Amino acid sequence: MRFVGKVALVTGGARGIGLGIAQRLASEGAAITIADIDVEAGARAARNLNDEGATAIAVACDVADPSSTDAAVRKAAAEWGRLDVLVANAGLHVQGYTKPACELPWEDWRRMLDVNVLGVVNSARAGRGPMARSGGGVIVTIASMAAYKGENAYGVSKLAVNGLTVALAKELAAEGIRVCGVAPGLIGSEEIMARFPAHRREQYINHTQLIRRLGKEEDIANAVAYLASDEASFVTAETLLVTGGAFCRI
């Protein structure tokens, strides 16, 4: 129970990888804030966590909007009195953003960068004060293996997240805040699988990964839990690849 007495906020925590992370941290004693743009889904996720014996609340949060993000973090800090872990998970998926960089409409570029890049900045800005007043803490960013392939707006946005992880780690170290990242590979969440045809999944697993199975949400949640825990107290400015060995074959 590594997070007893700790408070964690997960952006985009209402479903998918974010919900898996919230469940994992809650299972080890953390009080959870689900911060999500989908208010109903966030409330449902928090209610389910509470029904399972955890302690959770939900707050509305659009990470692309600084004022919305500030308000969400303030509400969480007021509820719990502290903030120890912030998981900057909210983001747009690659689907719909696979056109070459020079062909993607500008408004789509702007939306991707506003959510995936500035969303991390907004989350860190909002969280640093409450976290520092709590004696320090951990910010975990969620990047992607796509960052290392350098393809399309999504990959570019996640490469920027890798850079932000380092920049924020340097900036916030004096306040006792570590900043680490997790870069998932192909994860078999319901949301992702709905957009990834079965034949492409099999091809990806057989020809891209060393480990011949789909990644699971709990694979990412376990990595986040490690980085957020005291077991990783000497780890900062690093991004952990959780890809089934796909990086070896890029």
Query: How do residues 24-74 score in pLDDT, each as one tens digit?
Result: 999 999 999 999 999 999 999 999 999 999 999 999 999 999 999 999 999
pTM of the model: 0.95
Mean pLDDT across the stretch 217-243?
98
CB 142 within 8 A of CB 184: yes
Query: HSE (CB half, 13 Å, CA atoms) of 188?
Result: 14
The single-letter code of the amino acid at 78 is: A
- For the chain, the structural domain boundaries read 7-188+216-244
Quick check: 8 pLDDT over 70? yes
Average pLDDT over residues 160-179: 99
Q: Which of 97, 154, 204, 226 is catalytic?
A: 154
250 pLDDT exceeds 60?
no
Amino acid 99: pLDDT: 80
CA-to-CA dists, residue 66 to 69, 123, 124, angstroms? 5, 8, 10
CATH code reported for the domain at 7-188+216-244: 3.40.50.720
Predicted local confidence at residue 249, as pLDDT: 60
Is residue 97 among the annotated active site residues? no
pLDDT at 94: 67
- Whether 172 shows a pLDDT value over 90: the answer reads yes
pLDDT of amino acid 232:
99
Q: Could you give the CA distance from residue 1 to residue 95 in angstroms, rounded to a whole number?
A: 37
Identify the CA nearest to 116 among candidates 85, 138, 149, 94: 94
What's the mean pLDDT when you consider all of the chain? Answer: 93
When pLDDT is averaged across residues 132-153 and rounded to a whole number, the result is 93
Neighbours of 187 (CB within 10 A): 23
